[in-house]
Structure 1
Amino acid sequence: MKKRAIGALVALTAGLGTFTLATPAHAGSCGQVTDAKVSGGQASWAHACSGGYIRVSGWVKDTSADGKCAQVKAMYSNGTQYSAKACPSGTVKYFDFYGPGSSVPVYLFTV
């Protein structure tokens, strides 16, 4: 039984090792501007609200020649939206997310 549990844990962590998440940039709210940085990536975005919806727009940049890409995601109540992957190193991608609410958690990560 222990061997199966350890094997499952190893398989799970091996799958998780392919990307790195940053801590959430808090649940961004109307008017907030966020600058975020993780190993291999950098991003900046602003939140704007209107009529019960929140827009998150900004850019993401790959900052390391490590074979990974930088990406941003916003987790709205009706689903998660992803930016295009920024890679190779030096590449910048712009994004514009839109969804319901007055706050939304946004993450910068590498994949």
Structure 2
Amino acid sequence: MRLIVLFALIGLSAAVSFNTPPPKWLIVCKICKEAFNELASLARIHAEQAVIDKRIEDICSQTTIFQAVCKQCLNKAVLFLKEYPEEKDATKVCRASQAC
């Protein structure tokens, strides 16, 4: 009987987790990590801010809900990359930009 209840609870929690959207920080963090290499190369070559802003706009337009948060996160990531151009760890950069 306890085993049946356990499996029922596991099934219920799995069903709930599949129907709940991921938290916004997770979506922004994923976008940040996916954009990392491109933004890092732009920051390393000291691209003009207008070029970086345009690319961030393009990247963040892919998400309809969290565009402002996305832009803020990626701008902070670029600032971090400009200060530490040798950084190769996307997770570290995204955490520093407070996305994750």
TM range (shorter): 0.3 to 0.5
- Quick check: which one's helix share is greater? 2
- Quick check: which one's strand share is greater? 1
The structure that has the greater radius of gyration is 2
Larger relative contact order (Cα-Cα within 8 Å, sequence gap ≥ 6)? 2
Give me the TM-score of the superposition, normalised by structure 2.
0.36
